Amino acid sequence: MKKVYIRTFGCQMNVHDSERMLGVLRREGYAPVDAPEEADLIIFNTCSIREKAEQKFYSQLGRTRRLKRDNPALKVAVAGCIAQQQGAGIREKAPYVDYVIGPQNIGRVGDAVLGTEGIFTDDNPELARSDLPAERDRSVKAWINIMYGCNNFCSYCVVPYTRGRERSRPAENILNEVKGLAADGFKEITLLGQNVNSYSGDVSFPELLSRINDIEGIERIRFVTSHPKDLGEGLVRAMRDLDKVCEHIHLPLQSGSDRVLRLMNRKYTFSEYVSKVKMLREAVPDIAITTDIIAGFPSETPDDHKATVSALQEIGFDGIFAFKYSPRPMTRAADMEGQLPDEVKSERLTEILALQDRITEARNKALQNTVQEVLVEGTSGSEPEKMTGRTRTNKIVNIAPSGSVSPGMILKIRILKANRHSLEGEVIDGA
């Protein structure tokens, strides 16, 4: 049997794309290995969302040159967003790369390793209709694509260029795959899309949620990432009424300044965003809301930055991912005036993160002494004697050792202590 080593960078979409590539390669007789030295095929599934992610990949890629010298039969593939953006250019930088496979062509990784052709970066309108097999890494929670690509062209973002136009999977294909996952024992599914709530298959997104909610065996449904402009009453009602849809939404705000939001081409104002948050909190009182923030967008003034800081105070997110603005090739923002020095971006990012740490901690503290439903996922990485899982609101809970707790169980857990990034609790009764 041939051996493949996959190294994945970047978002959940990429992690799941790697699971699909592994599924495709399994059919060609490949099995995954954990060490690149043992592999016949090395795949880098790359990310180009920020420059840092790109640098990380190139420093890893350099090391494979030596592996290839030791083993001339070794094949090297570069997949993902950098592959799409640079295409054949990657081979100019690194001639030892055999295959370049863009995100729309992950299904062709089998053709790549069988054939002689090396560059797979064409637009692929069929991706949403091709039911690619997946070899999933975990056994309790599964990711599943429902739509691909992005039409939004936020001015800072490479995704529309690397993943192409929005294409939704037919509902029936999704439902069949979810039924299969339920039969395999998966308890939680996360619907994936760059702009998941703009799903426009043969049914609406709320209707899709409702049909998945009816599938026996699946206990929890999540979805990422939602765009505020596509968040309507239908989705809010679905979150309120469907028992399996979890009380969490990741809803990137990016900035609290209307001027910056306009430059980002986000298509909403801060007050529109706030009214969506209000609608969500009225319908689903315990909902956890998380977000993404970009610090130091071109021309961002100290006042724009202050608007972001006060937005964080006003909304009180459960958690955020915040990033320094990073100019990306092909994007409009990269050519905008007023690019800020790294020190300014760093300073603003630090302030944002420090403030949010306090907010996150306070929101977690409010859960002390409450009882939460936790889906047990496995042993805790940092404290192997404990099991770990997540609340419906997606907060990590480490569970004090107790006889029969095993992955896949849904338990009532009393929260004893709140840390900044996790909760600690004990079992009060099985579900």
Binding positions for ligand 5AD, rule: CB under 6 A: 49-50, 156-157, 252, 254, 292, 294, 323, 325-326, 328
Token pair belonging to 116? 């002689």
Whole-angstrom Cα distance, residue 280 to residue 375? 23
Q: Contact between 250 and ligand SF4 (CB under 6 A)?
A: no
Among 83, 101, 150, 189, binds ligand SF4 (CB under 6 A): 150
Helix, strand, coil shares of the chain, percent, nearest 5, are 40, 25, 40
227 binds, among ligand 5AD, ligand SF4, none (CB under 5 to 8 A by kind): ligand SF4
Q: Contact between 257 and ligand SF4 (CB under 6 A)?
A: no
Q: Contact between 10 and ligand SF4 (CB under 6 A)?
A: no
49 binds, among ligand SF4, ligand 5AD, none (CB under 5 to 8 A by kind): ligand 5AD
Residue-by-residue DSSP string for 142-160:
EEEESEE------TT--HH
> What region does 416 belong to: left with phi over 0, alpha with psi -120 to 50, or beta?
alpha
Among 227, 276, 305, 345, binds ligand SF4 (CB under 6 A): 227
Among 18, 85, 145, 195, binds ligand SF4 (CB under 6 A): 195
> How, if at all, do strands 319-324 and 188-192 pair?
unpaired
Which phi and psi angles does 35 have, rounded to 5°?
Answer: -125, 130
State the CB neighbour count (10 A cutoff) for residue 369. 10
Residue 377 in contact with residue 140, Cβ under 8 Å?
Answer: yes
Nearest to 284 by CA among 328, 230, 231: 231
Nearest to 290 by CA among 340, 359, 339: 359
326 binds, among ligand 5AD, ligand SF4, none (CB under 5 to 8 A by kind): ligand 5AD
Contact track, ligand SF4, 91-110, x by CB under 6 A: --------------------
Residue whose CB is less far from ligand SF4, 331 or 388: 331
Which residues lie below 8 Å from residue 344, measured CB to CB, with a gap of 6+? 296
Total residues binding ligand SF4 (CB under 6 A): 10
Nearest distance in Å: CB 49, ligand 5AD: 5
Q: Contact between 152 and ligand SF4 (CB under 6 A)?
A: yes
222 binds, among ligand SF4, ligand 5AD, none (CB under 5 to 8 A by kind): none
Residue whose CB is less far from ligand 5AD, 108 or 250: 250
Residue-by-residue DSSP string for 27-64:
HTTEEE-S-GGG-SEEEEEE--SSHHHHHHHHHHHHHH
Whole-angstrom Cα distance, residue 412 to residue 405? 11
393 binds, among ligand 5AD, ligand SF4, none (CB under 5 to 8 A by kind): none
- Maximal C-alpha separation, the chain: 62
Q: Contact between 255 and ligand SF4 (CB under 6 A)?
A: no
Nearest distance in Å: CB 150, ligand SF4: 3
Whether a cis peptide bond, with omega within 30° of 0, leads into 190 is: no
Token pair belonging to 357? 């740490």
Residue whose CB is less far from ligand SF4, 254 or 394: 254
Beta bridge partners of 44: 7, 78
Nearest distance in Å: CB 161, ligand SF4: 9
Nearest to 352 by CA among 405, 297, 397: 297
Contact track, ligand SF4, 154-193, x by CB under 6 A: x--x-xx---------------------------------
Nearest distance in Å: CB 159, ligand SF4: 4
Residue whose CB is less far from ligand 5AD, 51 or 184: 51
150 binds, among ligand 5AD, ligand SF4, none (CB under 5 to 8 A by kind): ligand SF4
Q: Would you tell me which residues interact with ligand SF4 (CB under 6 A)?
A: 150, 152-154, 157, 159-160, 194-195, 227
